[in-house]
């Protein structure tokens, strides 16, 4: 309702989304709520999520849905905290008490530090990258650019260009399938199918152009991230080219013959394959593969580094879930600190 008052000057009130437009997905609460909401009566017989009618927490037969009610209560709490009062997240410093085997936190009232992070109605942490100090902005940039969309659609030769995600579109302005095939021509060969669809042994490249583009689509900030001050002068495509060249350089180095102390590759005529065309020879740290000539148990223990065989089920389950062939051909990237970067 609007009321006219003589002499009053009205100013628009910013919404939460306008104040804090940069959010880090932290929960599946929005998905759960969307699954349980419907605009028509439902008999609550759904074997998955129990859909509720337009009165939200009451099914068409009059019974309540406790799970849904609890979620709505949580949403109300978060709305009050993050939207209505704009309450910021408070960091409570603490330490691990070896005697009680538990984390002990200092009193928030005396030692708590207010962070420029705010909780939205779906339990996601939000902020405004452009309004915070530079140090905090760097952390937010990194967190935002590190998001991974496991369910992103695959990119294939049949995908229409207009359906490419923005980062894939940026990449394909200068990268072609012929380019990819050129510098991966000598990559590790694995079992698969030949051109006629027949099974074959060590006959197909470990990764293809379309595999790579599908992987890029799962990391939206690669080739389409937020540009910090140092890179603001670059256009999106130019910055994408810099990112891609850095990625390829690391790929060739870390998976090539020189770094992994492998026998140099040669062509059929005996001439040496250049180092920059010798990448893609390994998919794991060879010093931690017990059957490899480079195996070094002490080195692995000291690092520590772990391949698939000794990794926690949290990681191996993710690897298996993304396996199209078998665990023998699973690939996972090495992240910061030589850990399995699956998240």
The model's pLDDT over 280-338, given as tens digits with 9 standing for 90+, comes to 988 777 877 778 888 888 877 766 555 666 666 766 776 666 555 444 444 444 443 33
pTM across the whole model: 0.62
pLDDT level of residue 172 (50, 70, 90 thresholds): very high
Q: What percent of the chain has pLDDT over 90?
A: 20
Residue 6 burial by Cβ neighbours in a 10 Å radius (0-12, 13-18, 19+):
exposed
Give the DSSP letter string of 231-242. GTTS-HHHHHHH
Q: Is the peptide bond before 223 cis (omega within 30 degrees of 0)?
A: no
CB 167 within 8 A of CB 220: yes
Mean pLDDT of 58-76: 51
The answer on pLDDT for 82 being more than 50 is no
The answer on pLDDT for 136 being more than 50 is yes
Higher pLDDT, 261 or 342: 261
Taking all residues of the chain, what is their mean pLDDT, rounded to a whole number? Answer: 74
Name residue 24's beta-bridge partners. Answer: 125
Predicted pLDDT at 321 = 67
**287 — alpha (psi -120 to 50), left (phi > 0) or beta?**
alpha
Give the DSSP letter string of 105-153. E--HHHH-EEEEEEE-TTS-EEE-TTTS-HHHHHHHHHHHHT---TTPP
| Dihedral angle computed from the Cα positions of residues 15, 20, 24 and 29, in that order, rounded to the nearest 10 degrees | -20
Length of the chain: 343
């Amino acid at each position: 309702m609007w009321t006219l008052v003589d002499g009053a000057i009205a100013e628009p009130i910013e919404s939460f989304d306008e104040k804090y437009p940069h959010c880090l997905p932290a929960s599946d609460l929005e998905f759960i709520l969307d699954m349980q909401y419907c605009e028509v009566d439902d008999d609550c017989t759904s074997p998955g999520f129990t859909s509720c009618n337009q009165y939200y927490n009451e099914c068409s037969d009059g019974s309540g849905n406790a799970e849904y009610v609890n979620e709505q209560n949580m949403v109300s709490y978060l709305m009050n905290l993050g939207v209505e009062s704009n309450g910021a997240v408070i960091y409570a410093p603490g330490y691990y008490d070896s005697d009680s085997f538990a984390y002990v936190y200092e009193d928030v009232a005396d030692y708590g530090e207010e962070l420029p992070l705010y909780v939205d109605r779906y339990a996601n942490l939000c902020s405004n990258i452009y309004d915070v100090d530079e140090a905090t902005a760097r952390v937010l940039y990194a967190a935002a650019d590190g998001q991974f969309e496991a369910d992103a659609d695959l990119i294939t030769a049949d995908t229409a260009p207009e359906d490419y995600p923005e980062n894939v579109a940026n990449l394909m302005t200068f990268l072609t399938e012929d380019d990819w095939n050129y510098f991966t021509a000598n990559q590790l060969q694995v079992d698969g199918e030949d051109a006629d669809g027949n099974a074959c042994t060590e006959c197909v490249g470990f990764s293809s152009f379309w595999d790579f583009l599908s992987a890029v689509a799962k990391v939206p900030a690669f080739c389409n991230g937020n540009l910090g001050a140092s890179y603001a002068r670059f256009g999106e495509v130019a910055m994408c080219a810099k990112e891609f060249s850095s990625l390829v350089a690391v790929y060739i180095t870390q998976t090539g013959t020189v770094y992994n102390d492998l026998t140099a590759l040669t062509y059929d005529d005996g001439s040496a394959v250049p180092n920059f065309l010798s990448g893609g020879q390994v998919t794991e740290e060879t010093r931690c593969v017990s059957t490899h000539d480079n195996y070094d148990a002490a080195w692995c223990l000291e690092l520590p580094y772990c391949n698939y065989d000794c990794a926690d089920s949290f990681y191996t389950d993710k690897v298996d879930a993304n396996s199209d062939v078998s665990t023998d051909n699973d690939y996972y990237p090495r992240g910061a600190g030589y850990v399995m970067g699956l998240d």
